């Protein structure tokens, strides 16, 4: 699987499937969250960047009300749906992502009739790199243009989030869609999730002789179930007991008092959010003052907080982080919602082969499934590519 999107190839696959050329091809990237985990739905801060892996959709509008969808991934073939009967029962499996976006946009009063859609994605699915938001953002960007809907990037973020929340059923925040829609090449996105205000932060890893290695543990998470929703509920409980609108409003100095008001588990969940928000702010300052080589300790502290306080790591993620750190990584952490997925390691480019070999060996020694390990770099956000 090549990481970069070949728009001509996607257009050709569309034509072979549907018998005519598409009207265009739109691509939206997956993301790595550099720091700021589970802070988005607590109205806090996040610092993701788009990666050089993306979902591309080729689309052609039809004269009727039928949507035909096909993905290059899997053996499902072409799925055909009558848009007049679009409901939670007809938006199932992978088509819930593109059809969920169409459903939300139609709910907003945007006229979307029938279409043919071909999807090809180079974002690994269920690896914590947000293959789901990549699909949503590519589809939302496409129909925004095809139907001249005039939605701003921040409005498209909310379209994708609603599709994920209301149609797919994953209670996620705005992190993933913001990264996919707002990123630019060579930058991370510093986002205030309360106001949706964002700032682009230069992240020139190559100039500092660094790179970010992703270790996809192959442990597939599922956000629509269990742990993610339970963490969200704990945060809501913590905010309620502490009498704040969101945990964003709690700072480190409030923690001693909070400890007396909350049960131990809820307190540790709250402490993760409070310290994580501060780590995002600290990362911005350190990046500006000293450059990316200096943020390693913050990344590792974030992982420890997720492992011990928020309890969303797993043995494979911990092993990836510990092994990378033991072999020259400056910092490492799990990235994304947790319970599986990927870890990232910030490393000097010179130790890439050593870190890779050590992680592969450690996974083999532990009898874990072999991980997939690859470098990522900050890439452009959602856009038309043909």
Q: Tell me, yes or no, if 365 is annotated catalytic.
A: no
Strand ranges inside the chain, DSSP E? 24-35, 45-61, 66-71, 79-82, 115-121, 187-192, 197-202, 210-216, 331-335, 342-348, 372-376, 383-384
Which partner from the list ligand ADP, Mg ion, none does 119 bind, CB cut-off 5 to 8 Å by kind? ligand ADP
Task: Let me know: does 119 contact 102? Beta carbons within 8 Å.
Answer: no
Which partner from the list Mg ion, ligand ADP, none does 126 bind, CB cut-off 5 to 8 Å by kind? ligand ADP
Catalytic residue selected from 40, 52, 176, 309 = 176
Considering the complex, state which of residue 71 and residue 141 has its C-beta at the smaller distance from ligand ADP: 71
Binding letters toward Mg ion, positions 113-152, x by CB under 5 A: -----------------x-x--------------------
Q: Is 348 in the site for ligand ADP (CB under 6 A)?
A: no
Point out which span in 14-22, 130-138, 261-269, 375-383 binds ligand ADP (CB under 6 A).
130-138
Smallest distance, Å, CB 46 to Mg ion?
15
Q: Is 33 in the site for Mg ion (CB under 5 A)?
A: no
Considering the complex, state which of residue 125 and residue 196 has its C-beta at the smaller distance from ligand ADP: 125
Considering the complex, state which of residue 153 and residue 160 has its C-beta at the smaller distance from Mg ion: 160
Q: Tokens 């928020």 — which residue?
A: 310
**Alpha-carbon gap, residue 191 to 219, rounded angstroms:** 28
N-terminal to C-terminal alpha carbon distance within the chain: 20
Q: Tokens 């597939």 — which residue?
A: 220
Q: Is 10 in the site for ligand ADP (CB under 6 A)?
A: no
Selected binder of ligand ADP within 57, 69, 104, 127 (CB under 6 A) = 127
Report DSSP state, residue 339: S
Coil vs helix vs strand at 20: coil
- Each as own residue / partner, the long-range contacts of residues 298-302 (CB below 8 Å, 24 or more positions apart, any chain) are 298/35, 298/331, 299/34, 299/35, 299/330, 299/331, 299/332, 299/333, 299/344, 299/346, 300/325, 300/331, 300/332, 300/333, 301/275, 302/35, 302/37, 302/276, 302/333
Q: Is 335 in the site for Mg ion (CB under 5 A)?
A: no
Give 64's contacts (C-beta < 8 A, 6+ positions apart): 113, 114
Report DSSP state, residue 46: E
Footprint (CB under 6 A) of ligand ADP, residues 69-98: 71, 73, 94, 97
- Tokens describing residue 9: 């190839």
Selected binder of ligand ADP within 44, 48, 128, 296 (CB under 6 A) = 128
Task: Let me know: does 198 contact 337? Beta carbons within 8 Å.
Answer: no
Considering the complex, state which of residue 175 and residue 299 has its C-beta at the smaller distance from Mg ion: 175
Smallest distance, Å, CB 71 to ligand ADP?
3
Point out which span in 12-20, 129-137, 314-322, 347-355 binds ligand ADP (CB under 6 A).
129-137
Give me the residues that bind ligand ADP (CB under 6 A), please: 71, 73, 94, 97, 119, 121, 125-132, 223, 336, 341
Catalytically active residues are 176
Give me the residues that bind Mg ion (CB under 5 A), please: 130, 132
């Amino acid at each position: 699987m090549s990481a970069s999107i070949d728009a001509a190839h996607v257009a050709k696959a569309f034509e072979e499937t549907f018998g005519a050329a598409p009207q265009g091809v739109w691509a939206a990237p997956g993301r790595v969250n550099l720091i700021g985990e589970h802070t988005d739905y607590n109205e806090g801060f996040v610092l993701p960047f788009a990666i050089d892996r993306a979902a591309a959709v080729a689309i052609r509008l039809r004269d009727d009300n039928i949507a035909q969808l096909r993905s290059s991934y899997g053996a499902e073939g072409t799925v055909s749906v009558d848009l007049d009967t679009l409901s939670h029962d007809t938006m199932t499996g992978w088509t819930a992502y593109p059809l969920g976006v169409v459903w939300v946009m139609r709910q907003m009063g945007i006229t979307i009739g029938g279409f043919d859609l071909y999807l090809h994605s180079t974002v690994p699915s269920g690896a914590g790199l947000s293959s789901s938001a990549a699909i949503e953002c590519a589809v939302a960007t496409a129909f925004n243009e095809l139907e001249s809907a005039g939605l701003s990037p921040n409005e498209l973020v909310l379209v994708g989030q609603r599709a994920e929340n209301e149609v797919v059923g994953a209670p996620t925040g705005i992190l993933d869609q913001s990264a996919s829609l707002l990123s630019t090449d060579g930058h991370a996105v510093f986002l205030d999730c309360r106001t949706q205000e964002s700032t682009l932060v230069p992240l020139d890893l190559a100039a500092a002789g660094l790179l970010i290695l992703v270790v996809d543990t192959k442990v597939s998470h599922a956000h629509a179930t269990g742990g993610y929703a339970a963490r969200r509920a704990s945060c809501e409980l913590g905010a309620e007991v502490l009498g704040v609108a969101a945990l964003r409003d709690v700072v480190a100095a409030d923690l001693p008092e909070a400890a007396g008001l909350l049960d131990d588990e809820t307190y540790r969940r709250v402490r993760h959010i409070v310290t994580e928000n501060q780590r995002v702010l600290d990362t911005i300052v350190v990046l500006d003052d000293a450059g990316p080589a200096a943020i390693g300790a913050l990344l590792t502290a974030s992982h420890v907080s997720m492992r011990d306080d928020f309890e969303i790591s797993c043995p494979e993620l911990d092993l990836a982080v510990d092994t990378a750190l033991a072999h020259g990584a400056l910092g490492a952490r799990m990235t994304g919602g947790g319970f599986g997925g990927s870890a990232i390691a910030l490393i000097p480019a010179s130790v890439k082969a050593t870190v890779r070999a050590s992680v592969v060996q450690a996974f083999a020694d532990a009898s874990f499934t072999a991980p997939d390990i690859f470098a990522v770099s900050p890439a452009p956000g959602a856009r038309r590519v043909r």
